[in-house]
Amino acid sequence: MFMTKILIAAMFLSAVPLPLFGAAYPKNAVHLDTKKVATGCSTCHLSFNFKAGGGPETCIICHGDASRLKKEYKNMPRNFAPTSGNRKNIEAEFAKTYRHPTFDAKGIHRSNEILPETDSRMPRHAECVDCHNPHYVSTENKFAGIRGKRVGNVISSVSKEYELCYKCHGESTNLPGQYGNKRMEFATSNPSYHPVEDEGKNTAVISLLKPYKEKKINAGDVSMISCGDCHGSENPESPRGPHGSLYEFILVDHYSTKDNQTETPFAYALCYRCHDRSSILGNESFRYHALHIQGRGSSTGANGTSCYTCHSSHGSPDNKYLLTFNKTVVSANSQGQLKFVEKGVSTFRGECYLSCHGVDHNPKSY
């Protein structure tokens, strides 16, 4: 009976249309390596509905709490699933305060779905198979076998992390109201953007800590970053990837976007991973940085405001230096203007036309 189920699983896999234009499954696919997964296909495909898919509950049998193998499969044949190895507990990440809704939105994923989502009424969800193709993934290529964005009748394959993220965080019509199209925010046609798709356009970011550089010159320079450099677990020992975090927005470090708060290394820890705090508070790039972030002190009852009040953490379609004003804090000035005008490329001079904390900038120059 056990061998019969193995054969059924193998027959099923051979009949499934391959996701990448009929390409053969790679020989180095992790889940097809019997040295890692002794019973091969039947480890995942034994006794579950092939049409609907096993869902994340199947994945966490091996990639969750190690005790699951003993509890849930204690009556299965010997070596049915791996009982050792360097697998980390991904299940624990989905129990954190901020997480992808893998276990919060069950039964929504469709086996034939193509992202970005075109139905604005479709509930947001993120199953394991939206980001991982278990038949193709290998240690050399974690994006192997993942279908990318549809352009007309052509569906590309994913080769870079940001392409995977854009599938749900780009043109999807069911984006939550407070979130925008990240593909547009990171577009290299913008005046400024964090260097995810390409090196940045702003060639003078004097607060950067080594080895970060605006442009890669020496072998050790880091001039580009990935979504995963900011989004992922707060615990460096956890599995890599934006599964879950104790910090809002599934961030690897704390980043407060609130107004009227005290500046501390913790408040903007995410920013200070790449940007020198002493340079920022020393006003090396903007003469009023410290005043804005730290405020005028507790004696006046006024604290500082977040980096987020003036800067986008992804990219700005309007200004250099990632300048995008948070309109819940910043509004138009007495003349109805809300803009930044650069006055000196190499001297960090400019003018702000806006109103903030009751102060009319009409303009304020620096």
Closest by alpha carbon to 64, among 39, 76, 82? Answer: 82
* Cα–Cα nearest to 82, from 49, 34, 117, 46: 34
Residues 208 and 284 in one domain: yes
* pLDDT, tens digit (0-9, with 9 covering 90-100), for 78-115: 666 665 566 789 999 999 999 999 999 877 888 778 88
In this structure, is residue 358 part of a structural domain? Answer: no
Q: Are residues 179 and 204 in the same domain?
A: no
Please check whether residues 173 and 208 belong to one and the same domain.
Answer: no
Q: Give the tens place of pLDDT for each residue, 149-191.
A: 766 676 778 889 999 999 999 999 999 888 899 999 999 999 9
pLDDT reported for residue 62: 82
In a domain, 355, yes or no: no
Q: What is residue 2's predicted lDDT score, i.e. its pLDDT?
A: 42
Whether residues 90 and 112 fall in one domain: yes
Q: Which of 11-20, 60-69, 228-237, 246-255 has the weakest average pLDDT?
A: 11-20
> Which H, E and C letters describe 147-158, residue by residue?
EEEEECCEEEEC
Instruction: Identify whether 340 is part of a domain.
Output: no
Indicate the residue type of 127: E
pLDDT digits (tens, 9 = 90+) for 231-278: 999 999 999 999 999 999 999 999 999 999 899 999 999 999 999 999
Show the DSSP H helices in 16-85 as ranges: 42-45, 56-63, 67-72
Cα–Cα distance for residue pair 257/277, rounded to 1 Å: 17
Are both 46 and 147 inside the same structural domain?
Answer: yes
Any idea which residue has 């034939």 for tokens?
112
For residue 309, being part of any structural domain is answered with: no
pTM over 0.85: yes
Is the residue at 325 inside a domain? Answer: no
Residues 165 and 57 grouped into a single domain: yes
Q: How many domains does the chain divide into?
A: 2
Residue finishing a domain among 299, 327, 360: 299
140 is a domain residue = yes
| Beta bridge partner(s), residue 305 | 259
Of 161, 185, 209, the residue at which a domain comes to its end is: 185
- The per-residue pLDDT for range 195-232, each reduced to its tens digit, is 999 999 988 899 999 999 999 999 999 999 999 999 99
Between these two residues, 58 and 263, which has the higher pLDDT value? 263
Domain with 140 in it: 2-185
Residues 123 and 202 in one domain: no
Same domain, 36 and 65: yes
Q: Does any domain span residue 288?
A: yes
